[in-house]
Structure 1
């Protein structure tokens, strides 16, 4: 009798696993851009070329890019090869690996929030200020160019002879 119950339990578990397999496959094959949309955020917050991403049970989102890169929303934006943030509905909080150029300075973006999608605005927390931008800037994932195309805060010093 115990053998029969054990076998029946294993068969039932296998059947349930078989039924849940399509759901597991569909969620693992979705893109990070689809994930952002499902959380009330625009897909264009993350560049097109994403190698992979992970989302932990605690909401920590890690996005892995091929390497550091630059794009432009309203101003130039720099992505590290790994961007991390706590993902919740309508927000990315505690962002690491994302900077935005403001008045010739590169400032880290610490948070991105969409309070009211009807307003058409998205709020960027850039350490020293909060900046509101149009959601329309973020509809589509942008192309991101490799970091080498920008000499970030680099100035070549020349001697007096070169300046004559």
Structure 2
């Protein structure tokens, strides 16, 4: 068995480090919209007006907006100040902070899935139903506008508001 001298090993290690430093660095994705595209999802799933986002090693995505707002895809959608989901290729699972208006009701979006990009469809799981929409609705990030009156009526956070209406 032949052993390499410590001098040769140190030289090999330093050569590897120099070569690694010369290779181009991995470019960070400039926006959450680029991140979504790189994961097989359309950029327009989140509004244009975001402050920042974080993506953890285990795929937890958090998108931070300036405040709650309304946008429109096929129907109106409500984005909370923070939208969270588990991001995997082609899907956002366990979405929190996104609701969609259906027949005058605001229903939370639970999952967003693109099974087959060639189909041109995206699936929204809104709990009581699965809704298929055209991917073309989500090509560009929507403008999201604060609508204070509508937002208050859509989510009642005041404690005791139900009891007061009896």
Give the whole-Å Cα distance in 1 for the aligned partners of 2:67 and 2:19: 42
Give the whole-Å Cα distance in 2 for the aligned partners of 1:58 and 1:107: 27
SS of corresponding position for 1:150: helix
Give the whole-Å Cα distance in 2 for the aligned partners of 1:107 and 1:49: 22
In structure 2, what is the equivalent of residue 162 of structure 1?
none
CA change 1:67–1:19 in 2 (3 A) is: farther
SS of corresponding position for 2:25: helix
In structure 2, what is the equivalent of residue 65 of structure 1?
65
Aligned residues: 150
SS of corresponding position for 2:137: helix
Give the whole-Å Cα distance in 1 for the aligned partners of 2:22 and 2:83: 34
What TM-score, normalized by structure 1, do the two folds share?
0.80
Q: Which has the higher helix share?
A: 1
Matches within 5 A, 1:7-156: 13=17, 16=20, 18-19=21-22, 22-23=25-26, 26-27=27-28, 29-148=29-148, 150-153=150-153
Give the whole-Å Cα distance in 2 for the aligned partners of 1:149 and 1:83: 21
Deviations 1:82-101 (A, max 9, x none): 11100011100000000001
Q: Give the superposition deviation at 1:147.
A: 3.6
Runs of 4+ in 1 over 2 A off after TM superposition: 5-16, 18-22, 149-154
Deviations 1:44-80 (A, max 9, x none): 0010011111111111111111111100101110001
Give the whole-Å Cα distance in 2 for the aligned partners of 1:53 and 1:6: 41
What TM-score, normalized by structure 2, do the two folds share?
0.79
Give the whole-Å Cα distance in 2 for the aligned partners of 1:53 and 1:20: 27
Give the whole-Å Cα distance in 2 for the aligned partners of 1:12 and 1:45: 42
CA change 1:138–1:7 in 2 (3 A) is: same
Structure 1 vs Structure 2 CA RMSD: 2.3
Q: Unaligned regions of 5+ residues in structure 1, if any?
A: 155-164
